[in-house]
Amino acid sequence: MKRRLIAMAAVGAMAGTAHAQTSVTLYGVVDLGVEYVNRVATAPSAPGLGTLGTAPVGSRFGLPNQGGLSASRWGLRGREDLGGGAYAFFTLESQFNTDTGTFTGGSGLFNRQALLGLGNAYGKLSFGKQYSSFMESMVNFSPTRFAPAYEPGIWWVGLDYKPNNTIKYAGNFGPLTALAHYSFGAGLPVSSFGAGGLLYGGGAGETPGAPRDDTAWGGALTYLGQNFGGSIAYDQWNPAATVGNTGKVRKAGVAGSYTNGPLKLMAGYRWGDQTFVNGNTALRDDYWFAGVNYRFTPALDMQLGYFYSNVKKFASTNSSVATNPANPQQVSFVADYALSKRTDVYLSAGWAHNGSLGNDGPFTLFLFNYPQAPGQKNMVGVTTGVRHVF
């Protein structure tokens, strides 16, 4: 009798699962290579906005803390059919440094995405830590597919590209996607930026009496057809240097692509404007990019990208006089060879002029460990590695 009850319970559970059509997927990427970089400086102990690297300056050879093609990460993704075309979904995703096994940036477990939502034929609404509308729309047009090694991705989409405390709408209508989001507190702590907290003092969101602190919002429209694609997006973040005193970081971008068989061409532009709490300019720049991808064989794919930043005004503090520094530019190249559907090997290279690789210097506060030496004109990096997707 006891065995029969257990069997009936098991059958009932299976029937319930089949009716609800619930699924949970474990997924991830592990990417690690060996890197050589020339003329890289040592970052100061408390990097600030506009602060260059310090001596010693020279070449560096070792394992980088980010992948050459993809950020190493693992996650859980689930969905349940609620009937009538409605569904519930969640994503929990963690990014880590493969060379040390630590969480990226010393942050919490699900530091990349942590969201829950509901959806139907008219779109989906999600809540939690998730990608900004600007990030999600523009990444489709990345020359090197947002490779973390040498593409100026964070410079392009902004430090707030995955804000905390966010409500987001996404609607897919054939080839057209509409996105909009609002964050009650993007959650970028002052400790992440050292003296740069004069502008980037985020993390003080959801503060009683200061509803604007660290808020962020934006929207995007993206068209992805069989041959042509295009996107337009806007993003604004209001970091609070201190409670009740917010700066302003604004970005607007357009991008397009053309695909014909193994060939894909893409190009785009991003307008950027950042102001301190007192309204003085922190950074005003125009960012341009162009790229080409070509799949020579089913296994071999190559990507080439060019990136140019016209930095019109830059001030390291809210009281300093804005300057017009030399404009950074970069060329990046990726050769990717698939050993199987899940494993590939690659060679990635980048050359930067008037700056550091990925624009990771005085403007993004050495987030990717390529500090620029004072007076430096050129930097070269080469990474070869392996990526496995599961």
pLDDT at 123: 97
pLDDT at 300: 98
Is the pLDDT at 7 greater than 70? The verdict is no
pLDDT of amino acid 323: 87
Give pLDDT, residue 6. Answer: 37
342 φψ region: left (φ > 0), alpha (ψ -120 to 50), beta (else):
alpha
> Which of 55-59, 146-150, 331-335 is the most confident on average?
331-335
pLDDT (tens digit, 9 = 90+) per residue, 312-324? 998 877 888 888 8
Report whether 109 contacts 68 (CB < 8 A). Answer: no
Q: Are 149 and 69 in contact (CB under 8 A)?
A: yes
How far apart are the C-alpha atoms of 104 and 64, rounded to whole Å?
A: 12
pLDDT digits (tens, 9 = 90+) for 325-348: 889 999 999 999 999 999 999 999
pLDDT confidence band for 4 (50 / 70 / 90): very low
- The separation between CA 170 and the C-alpha centre of its own chain, rounded to angstroms, equals 18
Q: Which of 183, 143, 77 is nearest to 307 (CA)?
A: 143
Backbone angles phi, psi at 7, to 5 degrees: -65, -40
Between 236 and 66, whose confidence is greater? 236
Residue 242 pLDDT exceeds 90: no
What are the structural domains of the chain?
Answer: 32-389 (2.40.160.10)
pLDDT band at 46 (very low <50, low <70, confident <90, very high): low
Residue labelled with tokens 């140019």: 308
Share of the chain above pLDDT 70, in %: 88
The whole-number pLDDT of residue 5 equals 38
pTM exceeds 0.85 for this model: yes
Query: What is the average pLDDT value for the chain, to the nearest integer?
Result: 88
- Which pLDDT tens digit goes with each residue over 191-220? 444 444 456 666 678 888 899 999 999 999
pLDDT level of residue 47 (50, 70, 90 thresholds): low
Per-residue pLDDT of 361-389, as tens digits, reads 767 767 788 888 888 899 999 999 999 99
Mean pLDDT for the stretch of residues 219-224: 98
Quick check: 78 pLDDT over 60? Answer: yes
Residue 352 has pLDDT above 60, yes or no: yes
pLDDT band with cut points at 50, 70 and 90 for residue 301: very high
Question: Which whole number is the average pLDDT over 27-50?
Answer: 85
- pLDDT tens digits, 87-124: 999 999 999 999 999 888 767 899 999 999 999 999 99
pLDDT recorded at residue 206: 84
C-alpha 171 chain-centroid distance: 21
Instruction: Give percent of the chain above pLDDT 90.
Output: 65
